[in-house]
Amino acid sequence: MTKFLLGFFSFGWLRGLDFLPPLLLRLFLAPMLWVSGSNKLGLFAGEGIEWYNPMTWFDASVYQASVEKLSATPMPIPDVMNGVIGGVEVVAAFLLIIGFAVRWISLPLLVLMGFTILLAIGSQDPLTAGENMLMHHGYADVTTDNLTIGVMYFIMLLSLFFMGAGRFFSVDWFLHRKLHKKINMQSTSTAENFDEDPFELDSTTDGHNH
């Protein structure tokens, strides 16, 4: 009976599907990061784009418009930071799709989202802004409320940072398995420290019972 209750409340029988949350988060965030980053860089934004000619992929006027928009914020050296932010977003979109270095790329994205949240708060008093968000949370229009959007993305990225890329459908997971097997071949005693799969989403059961 005890084992049944433990399995019932821990949902251990669903462990085989624990790859879905990080996978869906990656697939949800990647297109948005690609669109945001490519717009900042002016990639594929102009007319007369020829896929076989990389010189037509970049539109300087779109890039400059993005720089001018960023200049209206407290961001220093906007002409440089626009390229850096856009580049990070484009690279992040690619890495999220293949599931490589997901935790590492989540860090700069979290910083960017944190800065976005601060910009959304703007000149408001932090306590007043926080109170307004709590009082109106659920009623805000997520298509226009930048603060709500920023917080949503921050939470998703933070979740992805702690979960990792997920099992089965990520380069990170395959690399971990390969390195684990290599360590196991070199030293059995050392491999005992790597028994748990860091991509397995199960925080309610004892890892030694996997």
Residue 10 within a domain = no
H-run or E-run covering 196: none
CA pair distance 48, 58, nearest whole angstrom: 11
Output the six-digit token pair for 168: 């089965």
pLDDT at 210 over 80: no
Helix (H, G, I), strand (E, B) or coil at 44: coil
Residue 3 within a domain = no
Residue 93 within a domain = yes
Residue 210 within a domain = no
CA pair distance 151, 157, nearest whole angstrom: 10
Domains in the chain, number? 1
Q: pLDDT tens digits, residue range 44-92?
A: 877 777 777 777 888 888 899 999 998 888 888 999 999 999 999 999 9
CA atoms within 13 A on the CB side of 89: 22
Domain that holds residue 68: 17-194
Task: Looking at the chain, list the stretches that DSSP marks H as alpha helix, in order from N- to C-terminal side.
Answer: 2-10, 20-41, 60-71, 78-98, 102-121, 126-136, 146-163, 171-186, 188-191
Residue 71 within a domain = yes
CA pair distance 131, 136, nearest whole angstrom: 8
Q: How many other C-beta atoms lie within 10 A of the C-beta of residue 94?
A: 14
**Stretch 9-25: mean pLDDT, rounded?**
84
Residue 209 within a domain = no
Calculated CA dihedral for residues 81, 83, 85, 89, nearest 10 degrees: 180
Residue 56 within a domain = yes
**Stretch 18-37: mean pLDDT, rounded?**
94
In degrees and rounded to multiples of 5, residue 18 shows phi and psi of: -75, 0
Q: pLDDT tens digits, residue range 138-187?
A: 666 655 567 788 889 999 999 999 999 999 999 999 999 898 888 888 76
pLDDT at 209 over 80: no
Lowest mean pLDDT among 40-44, 92-96, 195-199: 195-199
